[in-house]
Amino acid sequence: MSILINFKICDNAQECNGIAVCPTGALSWDKDKKSIKIDNEKCISCGKCEKSCMVNAIYVAKNEAEYKKIEEEIKKDSRKVSDLFVDRYGAQPIHPAFLIKDDKFELEVLGSKRLVVAELFDDDSIKCLLKSIPMKSLFANYSIKYRKVVAGKELIKKYKIKKLPALVFFKNRKLLGKIEGFYDSKKKEKLVKKITLIVEK
């Protein structure tokens, strides 16, 4: 039978539960297209992916008629991925105004006279796509410029980043410090302490 994914509400991340539970590799992560890949030839209709999806974005159609019906329902679905972020992760997606590609790093980050906090992230990872702890609450006491940067290999190598996402702090082109790895809201206090040490040293 055939698998359908409602990409209007699917966050299309490599951490997809459906990929993790699929016993045959019928669902996989396409690195080049940066998307979940469906291979219906490999599907044995076990239904594990459908059950594993927390937002019910995956369907296993039993026959062609059901496939078409689901396809129509998906077409009519007016929701979008960001509508479900808060329920799913307790987090908001990052506002596009703060997003830059690494080719703007020189201008937007190094070239700034202000204290700049750049969050280097991997756009294949949902943990990196979300602003899990609002920056406003982390930097309430400081005047900063914040940018979220898709981390290319050169940046990662240059600043010796071992884990993404990573916060890198710059002033007048000088790297003041970096904080690597994902922090959820439970680790906010720890993160604030690390930020304070860098910003106030």
Binding stretches for ligand SF4 (CB under 6 A): 3, 21-22, 24, 26-27, 43-49, 60
Q: Which is nearer to ligand SF4, 48 or 131 (CB)?
A: 48
Contact yes or no for 102/155 (Cβ under 8 A): yes
> Which residue, among 117, 131, 122, has the nearest Cα to 89 in the 3D structure?
131
Q: Which is nearer to ligand SF4, 29 or 182 (CB)?
A: 29
* CA distances for 161 relative to 8, 60, 66, 85, 99, angstroms: 33, 40, 48, 27, 19
Shortest Cβ distance from residue 40 to ligand SF4 (Å)? 8
Shortest Cβ distance from residue 21 to ligand SF4 (Å)? 6
Reduced to 3 states (helix: H, G, I; strand: E, B; else coil), residue 172 is coil
- Here the tokens at position 169 are 């702090």
Q: What angle do CA 181, 110, 107 make, to 5 degrees?
A: 115
Q: Which is nearer to ligand SF4, 50 or 180 (CB)?
A: 50
Q: Which is nearer to ligand SF4, 44 or 175 (CB)?
A: 44
Shortest Cβ distance from residue 77 to ligand SF4 (Å)? 20
Q: What angle do CA 141, 146, 147 make, to 5 degrees?
A: 165
Contact yes or no for 9/77 (Cβ under 8 A): yes
Shortest Cβ distance from residue 37 to ligand SF4 (Å)? 11
Shortest Cβ distance from residue 144 to ligand SF4 (Å)? 44
For the chain, helix (H) and strand (E) counts, in that order, are 9, 11
Q: Which is nearer to ligand SF4, 43 or 133 (CB)?
A: 43
